[in-house]
Each structure stands twice: as structure tokens, then as C-alpha cells.
Structure 1
Amino acid sequence: MTDARSRRGRGSLAVSFFVQGVTFALLVTRIPAIQDRYGISDALLPVFLAAVPVLAGVGSVLTGKLVRRVAPSVVLRWAQPVVLLALLALGAGERLWHVGVALGVFGLAVGALDASMNMLGVSLQRAYGRSIMLGFHAAYSLGGIVGASLAWVGAHGELALVVSYLPVVAVLLPVALVGSRWYVEGEPGRGGPVGRSGGVLVPLCLVLMFAYIGDSTVANWSAKYLADVLGGSEELATVPYNAYMVTTLLGRAVGDLAVRRFGAVAVVRGGAVLAAAGFAVVAGAPGAWAGVAGFTVLGLGLSVVVPQAFAAARSDAEVARLNVFNYVGFLVGSPLVGALGDAWSYRGAMLLPLVLVLVMLRYATAVGGERALYGGGHERPRTVDVG
């Protein structure tokens, strides 16, 4: 693999992460508008929210089997357009079954997309011999900021969902298709096509699951929490996820340097402490802007955890297995927070992810394997820097 080809592959994959960040943000920040458009009750909303990660987990498992015969780049090339078109269908539908079908297709395709994106990212990091994985996830965070900002414009202008989504999909779909021409398969993992046994991966799976429980709490409940609990407007309700993504971007932008300097374990433990502090602020917030501040701190803390968990994988099969716990976190976290909120209080429900991110301190050593800890004497020697 030539240096120029490596750079093109790295850039095109970053574009894919960016596009997915925009897409996902446009979905989660407009949940109140989607609920109103389709007349989804508060009791039924968690069911729809849970369906996406369930089907995404199925998509990830299928991708883990598919990449034994087809390159991850091929899966990613076709999964991303399907995700974008499913988002557009979600905005254009009118009946309840329309939203069900659109979210179903979105979930299956996003599982394949997330798994294949991270497979390519991990393999490129192996080829580079140094930590670059957080940079890809920084591109996702930048996309989230753009998507949340576009969602704010749609809410502020009281635009119909399809009017908000159509121009975005019209721009991003050709960008994704053109960028996919330069995807590059990096260095294969060790341990063969299967990798380590499932038991060895349990600590990594727990770290990823707890991180995504925290992330799903922000993605699925921050808008509703700010509007219903803290008294914010619909426009202000789009801000917490945007603020969360800004600090997530900042954390990931410097995260690769931090990993090389301090090691993956120290970085993940520091992130867990910051995330717990953010949830504490959210739970005790006296008003809407204090809640925004808490979600902002949360982004800085959780930003480093997920990329490092994926970076510790040794094969595509392990990435696919780990990716399932992305959706387990969403599946468990979002409905559980909603159920606790209904049965007790939404402030009290924020204590659940607070405790779980602190539990990550116990399992943080799992991210410190040979493949995760680049830098600090662990970076692979190389004669030519590929970017």
C-alpha cells in the first residue's frame, strides 16, 4: 500500500464517518418532531427507539459473516446510501407503518455501515502503526455538529421533516458514493478470521456497552429532557446534542495525541470520570442552560472511550462482535432511562448512566492491549510517515 493511497483511503473513510455523523444527528435531534408527525405516544416512543439498535445489531452480525467473502469497503460503499435514503423516507412518510418500515431499513443498514466503517478504521490504524482511530470518530462528531445545526434550522423555521432532509440527502448521497472509490483495506488483524474467544472480549464489550448507554441517553433523551424537565424551548432542545458533539469533537481531535503520550488506559479512565461529572450536573441542573453545560462535559468525557474500544480489536470479526454492544447499549440504555423517567423521575434516571460510566474504570485496562496502545514506546517503528 503506497503512502498516497493510504492518505486517500484515510481521507475517504473520514468522509464516510462525517456523513454518518450528519445523518444520525438529523435523526436523533428531531425525535420530538418525528413523534408529533406520526402521532407516536410517549409509551410507544421507546419501542420505536429500541427497534433501531435491535435491527442494527442484526445488521452488524450479518456484516461480520459477510466480510469473510466480501471486503468491508464493499459493504460500506452500499450501506451508506441506504441509510441516507431511509432517513429521507422517514421524513416523507405519513402513516405509522411508514415510520416503522423506514426505521427498520435504517437500523439494518446502519449496523452494516457502523461495522464496516470501524473495520476499515482499525485496519488502517494497523497499517499506520500509530493511533489514528480517534481522528475518524472526530469526523463523525463534526458531522454530528453539522447535522444538529441543520436540525436547529429546521426546527427554528418550522420546516417539514422532508423539507429539512431532502437537500441534505441530495448533497451527501453523491459525496458518499464518490468518496467510496478511494476506500482502502489496511493491514489484516492477527488471530485469523475469527480472533479471540468471546470471553476474552467481555471487558471490551462492557466498556463499549456502558459508553453507548451514556451516549444513547444524550442522543435519545437530551432534547426531551431539556424541553420537558428543564423547561427549554423546542429550538433550545436541539442544543444539548450539538454541544455534546462539539466537545466530543474536541476530545477526539486531541485524543490520538493523548493516547500516544499517556496510553489508552489512562485516557479512557479520565474520560469516564469526566462523563460521570457531566451526568451529575445534568441530574441536578436548576435550568435549561445548566443542563446544556452538563451535556457539554459529557461529550468531552465519552469522546475517547468508543474509538479506543474498537482500536483494541484484532480482526474484522472482533469489530463486528464489539459493534453489537454499541446497539446493546442503545437498546438497554434508552428504554431503561425512559422507563425510570416515567416510573420515578427523569432527573433520577440520569443517575443510571452516571453509575455505569464509573464502572468503566474497573474495565479500562481492556483497551490497553498491544493494538490499542500506540505511542509511549509502543508505536511501531516505520521509515516513512504515511500522514
Structure 2
Amino acid sequence: MTGIPVNTDVRLRHGRVSLALSFLVQGVAFALLVTRIPAIQDRYGISDGLLPVFLAAVPILAGVGSVLTEKIVARVRPRVVLRWAQPVVLLALLGVAAGDQVWQLAVALGAFGLSVGALDASMNMLGVRLQRAYGRSIMLGFHATYSLGGIAGASLAWAGAHWDLPLLVSYLPVVVVLLPAALVGSRWYTEADVDTDRETGPGGTDRETGPGGAEATLTGGSVAFKALLPLCLVMTFAYIGDSTVSNWSAKYLQDVLGSSDEVATVPYNAYMVTTLLGRAAGDLGVRRFGPVAVVRFGALLAAAGFAVVALAPGAWVGILGFTMLGFGLCVLVPQCFAAAGRMFPGASDAAVARLNIFNYVGFLIGSPLVGALGDVWSYRGAMLVPMLMILATLVYAPSFADGAARYGGRHDRSRAADVG
């Protein structure tokens, strides 16, 4: 302890737990939607030709939601946006299950997409602020709870499909449990920095005053896109890799490596578990070796995973490659957000909101890109394209340097309290 008030420590611990809960709830909700797409298609009678339009609309609207969040947090604190975006996501998920006409599905998915964009942006804004308050890497832990939520949501979706439950019966109990939990947990969201005092600037803008009396506008300031661009590219590459696994791993194992239907479901499950494990341990790696080394190691491991998948002689070697991908890719996205917060400490909210857009850009590009290359070339060859993109991350790794923030590298800031 370094003379920081005990009540500040408690507030940060509560804020960290409540934000982790938010990441967990979001992981469950998103997994429940994307893993039941065939059931949604059957319920509304959507043709195979029209389905991609609905699927593309969600990330596009999520990008719009992220842009709008940047504007909103100039006047309203991110924790307020998060407090109300999460219930909308859960209610929109319920709306997807409750409707029976295509226009109702369109409205529900529209609400889901916009609110997911606001939710993703505001969650990571708070995560970046909390990491700054702790003075050490904690972002990977938040994303680990998202992965845990994704595994839980996918498991619940499997149970619903296995027992042939209607969507509403499958979704309603989850929303009934998670909605009040999210609302109660939102009471402890915090944006405080332990080494600064918060005050209100002109026009109600949040400001922080450091020990030397210098002010920095948290929600204002400028974000130089040229400086942010390397992180945007890495974010895009990471989600192209992620969407390749989620959309093509089963088909690749079955059609290219000749596996059975059951074995074809293993790679994505292995990928999700290794993503969780990698993120759970990742913060320790960042603190010990620094973010640049962790990003480089993750990129090399992910690229090696794609190479193993492309050259695999059989299904189990292919599964090994997808497992390597989970361990490698899992560190990139959380470190992108953390690096953006360090790069623009006076405008971290705006930087996170803009960076978050490229989450959805990668999601939109990845699946069609691999599918098109697989059709005109080969699926083995198609796996080499995301591999090369991930390798390009090595060029941009210096952008993740912690600089004066001193997160990791065998040390934490000496004035930071260990608060959990």
C-alpha cells in the first residue's frame, strides 16, 4: 500500500469485478445469438440468399453504435452508456426469439447490433481506465471472462439445440437471470484513476488533475488516426483470424481433412478453451515480459497455427493447429485496446471507440474472404492469407510499447496499489 485511501481500493476492486461480469454477460449473449443462427433462419423462413444480409447487418450496425458512443461519451460518462446498453442487448436477444415475422427479426437484430457496438466500446473504455488506475495489465482478464461467457453461451445453445427447445424457451431463462445481475452489477462501475483526483471541467466534461496539477480532458482531446492505424490493422487481422476459425474450422476439418461430423465440432471448442486459458494467464505475461513481447509471441504462435492447419495431413493435426490459434490470437485484441489507452491518455475513450470499429471490419472481411479463396483456389491455400496478415502484426508490434506507462516489463508503477 502507498497511502491510497482504503475506500479507493474497495471502489476499484468492485469496479473490476462488476466490469468482468459485464464482459461475461456479453460473451453469453453473443454466443447464444451466433450459435443458433440455423434455428433463427428456420423460425423466420429466411432463405440462404437473404441470410447473409441479416448477418452482415449486425456488425455494420455495431460499427455505427461504436461511432455514436464516441459522440455520446463526450457528454455522458461511459459507465452510463454501459449500464443501459447491456439490458438493451439482452432484451434484443429476447426479441429475436419472440418474433415470428421477418420485420420483427430485422428490428430486433438492428437493436442488437447498435447496442452491441455501444456495449463493446464502453466496456473497453472502462477497462482501459481501470488498467490505468491499477498501473498494471488487467485487460486480458476482462477478455478472459468474455471467452468464459462465450463457452457458457455456446453450451447453453447446444443444450437448446440438443433438446430441440424453441428459441424463446432457450433464451428466456438466461435473460431472466442475466438482466437483473447486470443491472445490479452496474452500480459499481467506476472510471477512477487511483493516482488522480476527478473533477468536472467547463460544460460538464470529465477531467483529471494529476499530482503536478496538469489537466487532461478524458473525453476530449484529439486522436491522430495515423498513430492509431497500426492498432486498427492488427485489430482487423486478429478478427479475420478469429472469424476464420469460427466460420470455417468445422467445414475445413470435414471437407478438407476428412473428419466425421462429431470431430468437426472439436476445433472451435478447443479454440474457445485455449482462448480462455491464454487470456487468463496473459496479464501475467504482459507484466513479466511487456506487451510488445507478448504480442510478438502471440502473432508468431497464431501464424504457426495457421501453417499447421494448412499443411495438416489429418483431422487431429488440424485440431492442433486451431488450438495453437487460440493461444496465439487471444492476446492481440485486448492489447490493442490497452495500447490505444496508453497512446492517447487524454482521449482514450475516443481512441477505443474508433479502434473498436475495426473489430467489426475484420469480422465482415474474414468469412467471405476465406470462402472466396477456398472456392477459386483451395481451402488449404486460403488459410495462408490470414497467416500472412497475422505475421504483419510483427511489423506493428512496436506500437504496443508501454512507454512511460510502465505496464509490465518486470515492474509495476511504484505508486500503484495492489487492489486485487
Deviations 1:286-322 (A, max 9, x none): 5655544332221111111111110012311101111
Partner Cα separation in structure 2 for residue 286 and residue 87 of structure 1: 41
Distance 1:245 1:64, change over 3 A: same
Q: Which residue of 2 aligns with 1:333?
A: 366
Is 1:365 matched with 2:392? no
Cα-to-partner distance string for 1:213-265 (whole Å, 9 max, x where unaligned): 11122234445555666666776665433322211111111111101111111
- Alpha-carbon separation, structure 2, partners of 1:262 and 1:91: 46
The structure-2 alpha-carbon separation of the partners of 1:22 and 1:72, relative to structure 1 and needing over 3 Å to count, comes to same
In structure 2, the partner of 1:210 is 237
Q: Distance in 2 between matches of 1:3 and 1:374?
A: 19
Q: Secondary structure at the match of 1:375?
A: coil
2:45 and 2:97 map into 1 onto residues whose CA distance is: 14
Q: CA deviation at 1:334?
A: 2.5
8 Å CA contact 2:295, 2:332 repeated in 1: yes
**Cα distance in 2 for residues equivalent to 1:345 and 1:44:** 26
Match among 280, 287, 298 for residue 271 of structure 1: 298
2:66, 2:105 → 1: CA distance?
A: 22
Match of 2:23 among 11, 17, 26: 17
CA distance in 1, matches of 2:226, 2:150: 33
In structure 2, C-alpha distance between the alignment counterparts of 1:172 and 1:106, rounded to whole Å: 16
Is the partner of 2:28 in helix, strand or coil?
helix
Relative to the length of structure 1, the TM-score reads: 0.91
Residue number among 311, 318, 327 corresponding to 2:351 in the alignment = 318
Pairing 1:85–2:91 present: yes
Point out the structure with max Rg over C-alpha: 2
Residue matched to 1:301: 328
Distance in 2 separating the partners of 1:306 and 1:353: 15
Q: 1:373 to 1:164 in 2, by over 3 A?
A: farther
Q: Deviation of residue 344 (structure 1)?
A: 4.1
Look up the equivalent residue of 1:256 and give its one-letter code. D
Shift of 1:26: 1.5
For 1:41 and 1:346, the matched residues in 2 are separated by 25
Q: Does 1:129 align with 2:130?
A: no
Q: Percent identity?
A: 74
| Residues 94 and 175, structure 2, Cα contact 8 Å, conserved in 1 | yes
Comparing 20-29 with 292-301, greater Cα deviation is found at: 292-301
Question: 65, 68, 74: which is aligned to 1:59?
Answer: 65
Q: Which amino acid aligns with 1:196?
A: V
Aligned to 2:382: 349
Q: CA RMSD in A?
A: 2.5
For the structure 1 residues 257 and 209, does the alpha-carbon distance in structure 2 shift closer, same or farther, using more than 3 Å as the test?
same
CA contact (8 A) 1:265 1:367 kept: yes
Which stretches in structure 2 are left out of the alignment for 5+ residues? 1-6, 194-206, 209-215
Aligned in 2, Cα 1:128/1:226: closer, same or farther, shift over 3 Å? same
In the superposition, the TM-score normalised over structure 2's length comes to 0.84
Q: Distance in 1 between matches of 2:297 and 2:360?
A: 24
